[in-house]
Each structure stands twice: as structure tokens, then as C-alpha cells.
Amino acid sequence: MNNKYPNLLSPAKIGKVELRNKTVMAAMGMSQSDDGFVSQAVLNHYAERSKGGVGAVIVEVTCVDTPLGLNTKGMLVIDDDKYIPGMTRLAEVIHEGGAKAFLQISHTGRGARRSIIGAQPVGPSAVAMPYSFMMGLANETPRELTIEEIKAIEDKYAEAALRAKKAGFDGVEIHSVGYYLGQQFLSKQANIRTDEYGGSRANRIRFHLNIIKKIRKLCGEDFAIIVKLSVVEQGPDGGISMLDGMYYSKKLQDAGVDAIEVLAGKWSTEPGKKEKPESAYPDCMAVILCLLMKIGIFLQTGKKKRIPLIGGGRAQNPEKAEKALASGKCDMIFIGHGLLVQPDLVNLVNEDREDEIRPCIGCGHCINEQLQHGKRAICSGNAVLGRGDNEYGFKPAETKKKIAVIGAGVAGIEAARIAAYRGHEVDLSEESNDIGGQMNLADKPPFKDHFSLLKPYLKRQIELSGVKLHTGKRITKQDILDIKPDAVICATGLKPASPPIPGAGLTVNAKEILAGRKAGKSAVIIGGGSVGCETAEFLAEKGIKVTVIEMLDTLAGNTGKTAQSILLGHLKGLKVAMLTECRVKEISAGGVSYTDKDGNEHILKADTAILAIGDKPDTSLYDSLKDDFSEIYNIGDSAGGGIIPCAVYDGYTVGCKV
């Protein structure tokens, strides 16, 4: 065991279930099932995290009541015995990796969508789920559940837990966070009933207490029960107060749950000025809530709490996690996205190899793909996640080759390191004096803090893999011909766009602004994608008057929904003028003329016109070489990659193939 982290890596217990350390993989929806059944992709996903050293694996949100309880089409299901064989194999692969296995059981309630369940959603009350910028979701008014239906759903939770036990799981987690039914019963905003299930704290917690009692009756005392609990729900009506959360925590302890995973919930129609995207979340941000619940339980009972409280919230930094445990703020640490991007994170910590941990940059593409687009979750750092059967590991090269990779951006480095790890001799060339490509600017806009964590990781990977790095020289066709590689990988990125707009030569590229070029006292940004909008925030925070002009009807449309909403909320708060469905007609030394959607012409005066309409793939080197090599690839932005997960996937795939 790594002695730097004696608390984090020491054994723990949840009920009578013994864990090898105090880390818990948080349940995160992946939407990788086969019509609710455990698929090979699901097996591989969780097997890899268990082998990666985590103490307990909590399998993603699993439906106890189809179709009404479904969240996505790819959601796992446990409402029938036919799902037990697959769940048995899932519990087995988790145990084979050394972790304990828990299954998160859930009902989506009013959060379900008619397009998924084929009917009107149900909920504690006929109160529609409010729009939330955090998920970009709103919903129709649900049908209020009858008391008989509620009791039937309680039975479904208990029966699901029994199936999990029969399948070999060590316990279950009752999902009571977010827009799921558990939180809905606890929230004054969602639950306005006046019968035995509403009207008071004691009644709003009844749904949970009944489920726990029924699980205990079917599964016994040795079967562990965790509750994933929103101890506070912020929103228009303050659905769950901190005092509510303290009361609920104490009642759950009294009811015999074995641990509480402590989080917060939130409903906001639009983000405030101080709202941060995930790319700027502080480490271990939810740990303080565990401390507050400890205090709350003590104030109610006069005694210390009896069960572990699991805290986290961007907890992949082992130093911060260790400090949270050592200070007594929480008893165990849950890790979510950190284990998506780096499945063996805990092993790397244990082996004193923290500098090999790929950071989660907080881009939000994982949840965006799943909830917004109905697809599997993907990751900007882990090319395997959500692709095919999630097959980890790559085969050594059968024939050792000499490989030239041109471009040390994200795609190029990924291709180079994977090819080198497979045994190839790899030369990586970069025109600039440093690696990173577009990532060198990605962390410059406000609230992109975690993007800066990626570059040190990439540099370390180049060192560890044995890739030979060459910087500060533009590689030509002749250079490649002289090297005589067996294979060529072009990752040459982008070149500035040259729009057919009169006066375009008078503009400054947005990336020059992010790199430090001055913009005067006023600026017009032409192009309202993510780069344009982030540049607008970058300038507006400096007190510069900014206008964004976009041809489409959406701004920052190539950004994840939550990050997009927060970014646009910031622009609104900074009084950035945002003009959509407008077309720039001409650029002059004093400003920009444009036409709106009705064809009316306008003139904007500005010190600087900034171009952010999307650079073009630079395929010049690839085009010049493609007839000279039988094995040549074009990847990343130079192949139209667009977003980081695509660039990483391109690089990984070619690195495995070459």
C-alpha cells in the first residue's frame, strides 16, 4: 500500500461487506445495455474498473419498473427474473477484479420521457419537472401515483434488490438524487401530496423507509443497503432544505441503511453569474455535505453517526481525497468521472504513479451524449468508453515498424503513444515549440481550469512510451521521404478560415485574442460557436464591449448542453450582445455591417473584428504524401475531428491499427 494515503487505501466496511479500500465507484449511466440486459460492453466496462483497484463498484442506474421507470433506451433493467443470469455474470466479473459489487436500483418517475416509455410519466404529484439547464431537460406534467401504485413500486424496489442478491451482488443502492423518483418524494417542490406520503418530512421519507423495510424482509441483515441522497435541493421553491437533509439522513440511519452517499440536487431555469461548468469544479466539492450531515445527526441524537457517509465530487485527486478522510469530513470517497477516463486510477495511486493518471477535464461530453442524444456515454480522454464492446488493452505489434507522426496535438499524441506502447519505433514531430495543439488555447477562456491538467499528462505519456519528440520545425514532404517510415500518421490540425467576406483581411483570429493579442475597447466576434462565445466571455470579463454575430439560430451549439447553458448565462450577465440568424456583409476598419433574418442591414462600430467562424482542416501534408505511402492516415482536426473525444478516438484507433 502507498503510505502517502493511509486513509484512502485502508480497508473499510459497508454494513458487513468488507472493502479493500475506501474508494467507491459512483454509479453513472452509460446506456450500454441490450434492451435492458447486461451486454458484453457492460461486463467489460465494470470488469476494468474493478481490476483497476477501486474498493466497491456501484453499477449504474437500473430500472425496477419498465416501461414507466426507464430513463434511456439503453438503461439496465432488473424488474424480472429473466435479467438475473446477466446480472450474475456482472457481479462475478466485478468480484473477479477484487471489488465488491452493488447495484443501483431506481425509478425515473416524472423524469421519464414519453418518447422512451410510450406513456405519460408518473410522479408523487402532478407537478411537471422544471426545466434544468444542468441537464437541458424539462418534461410534461406527470400523472399522480395512487397509494396502491406507490406501494407496488416499493415492492418492485424490494424485489429488484432480491434479484440483485440472487445474482451475487453484495448490496444495492437506492437512487434518490437528480430527477429520479427517490428525490421527487423527498422534495417539497415535486411532492405536494397531503396524504401519508406527503405534507411533512416524516411523510415524504416514508417511501424510502418502506422500501428499506421491505428489502430487509426479503434480503436479510447481511445484504448491504446504501442510499444515494440529495441532502439539499436548490431551486425555485427550495425543494429540500439542509435541515430536511439532516432529518432524512438521521431517519435513514435509524431505518438500518448501511451507508449514505451524500450529494446535492439543483433545479435552475438558467444559470446565475457565479455558476461554474464542470471544467472549473473544485476538487472534493461535495465532501463538506458529509460533515454537515454528521453535525445534523449529532444535533438530533446527541450521538455520533453510526454509518459511513460517502463523499466526493471530482475526487480523483488522491491528495485531496486523503485530506478529506484524514480530517474526518467523510468516511469514504466516491469517484465518478475520474474512473471513466482512468479505469485503473486506484491502482496507479497505490503504485505511486499518480503522474500517469489521465485527468477528467470536465468537458461534459459523457452526460451530453447519453441524456441529450440518447447514445452511449463517451469520454474525451478514454477512447474505449462507449465504443463497441469496451475492449480494453491492445495487442503488441506483430511486426515492429518505423512510424512518423506529424502533429503533437491530442490526436497525434494519442496515436503516437499507443503505437509506441505496442512496440513500434515512433517519431512525433511538431511545428511549434511545444506540444498540445488546440489544447494550448482551450484553457485560456474563463472556467476552463481543468483543461490545463491535460498537457502535463500528455508530456508524461510521451516520456513513458518512448516516443521520440521533435519540436520547432515544420515537416515537409521531403522530410518524410528522407525518414523513410513504414507508416505515416498526419495529425496536422487546422488552418485559418478565409471567408468570402469583403474586408475579411482586416479581422483578427479569435485564437490570437486568446493567445494575448489586444482587442481595444470594443469588439465584434463573427461566429458564435464555442470558440466565439468563449472568446466573448474572455474579453467581456476584461471590460470590453462585445457583440457576437452568428448565422445559425443557436450559439455554442457544439458545446455540451450544461456547459453551453452556463456559458450563455455568463454572456448574458456580462451584457454581451448576441445576434443570431444574422449574416455579415462587409468588414471595414471601423466596424462590421450585417443583415438580420428579415434582410435588414445594420452597422456595428468596433475597434476590432474577430473571426471565429471555424478553421479548416489542414490536409496539405497528407494530400502530398498519400500516393507515396501504402500505409498513411489522416486523423484529428485535419480529418475534420471537431471535438476532443473524436480526436482521441481517431488517435487511439490508428495507434492500435498501425
Catalytic residue list = 180
How far apart (Å, rounded) are the C-alpha atoms in residues 177 and 157? Answer: 16
Say if CB 121 and CB 111 are below 8 A apart. yes
How far apart (Å, rounded) are the C-alpha atoms in residues 384 and 393? Answer: 9
CB atoms within 10 A of CB 474: 12
Reported as half-sphere exposure (CB side, CA atoms, 13 A), residue 528 has a value of 26
How far apart (Å, rounded) are the C-alpha atoms in residues 331 and 294? Answer: 10
Residue 152's contacts (CB-CB under 8 Å, 6 or more residues apart) are none
What pairs with residue 132 in β-bridges? 137
Grid look-up 450529494 returns 263
Residue 137 carries which DSSP code?
Answer: B
Q: How large is the angle between the packed helices 147-166 and 206-219, nearest 10 degrees? A: 40
The residue type at 397:
A
Cα-based torsion angle of the residue sequence 83, 88, 89, 90 in order, rounded to the nearest 10 degrees: 80
CA distances from 310 to 18, 25, 325 (A): 15, 11, 10
What pairs with residue 545 in β-bridges? 522
Which element (helix H / strand E) includes 586?
A: strand 583-588
What pairs with residue 101 in β-bridges? 57
Cell representation of residue 462: 510521451
How far apart (Å, rounded) are the C-alpha atoms in residues 618 and 623? Answer: 9
Which element (helix H / strand E) includes 609?
A: strand 608-611
Q: Prior bond to 446 cis, omega within 30?
A: no
CA distances from 292 to 242, 265, 305, 328, 505 (A): 9, 15, 11, 11, 58
Grid look-up 419498465 returns 66
- Rama region for 622: left / alpha / beta (φ>0; ψ in -120 to 50; rest): alpha
